[in-house]
Amino acid sequence: QQQVKQSPQSLIVQKGGISIINCAYENTAFDYFPWYQQFPGKGPALLIAIRPDVSEKKEGRFTISFNKSAKQFSLHIMDSQPGDSATYFCAASFYNTDKLIFGTGTRLQVFP
């Protein structure tokens, strides 16, 4: 009930392509869904987040799509760049608690 399943484990995309990472959750009480980006040797950094009252949120080249009925959400990176190469984590939490449940991570490699 507290799990967040993330796929794929790794992703290779050419420069300019679209990267798509998917997550699914079980607990319908989750109401905050952030994505974190982690570069090698660094800590995770908040990239973009969404709440279930909207189906999509866009910030620059990064978009979260949210499907409440399917209990799924995904990160789309448009015009992927080599600088986007990193590990991406989805997460979920209850809005009024401090505990984030992280997905297992997706290693994205963008080749020029």
Tell me, residue by residue from 2 to 41, as one string, x for binding to another protein by CB under 8 A and - for no binding.
Answer: ------------------------------x-x-x-x--x
Residues 56-85 that bind another protein (CB under 8 A): none
- β-strand pairing of 33-38 with 86-92: antiparallel
Residue selected from 1, 43, 53, 83 as contacting another protein according to rule CB under 8 A: 43
Cβ(64)–Cβ(57) under 8 Å? yes
What sign has the CA pseudo-torsion 96, 94, 68, 6? positive
**How far is the C-alpha of 92 from the C-alpha of 99, rounded, in Å?**
8
DSSP state of 32: B
State which residue, 39 or 79, has the beta carbon closest to another protein.
Answer: 39
List beta partners, residue 71: none
List beta partners, residue 67: 72
Residue 53 in contact with another protein, rule: CB under 8 A: no
Residue selected from 11, 49, 65, 76 as contacting another protein according to rule CB under 8 A: 49
* Interface positions with another protein (CB under 8 A): 32, 34, 36, 38, 41-46, 49, 51, 87, 89, 93-100, 102, 104-105, 107
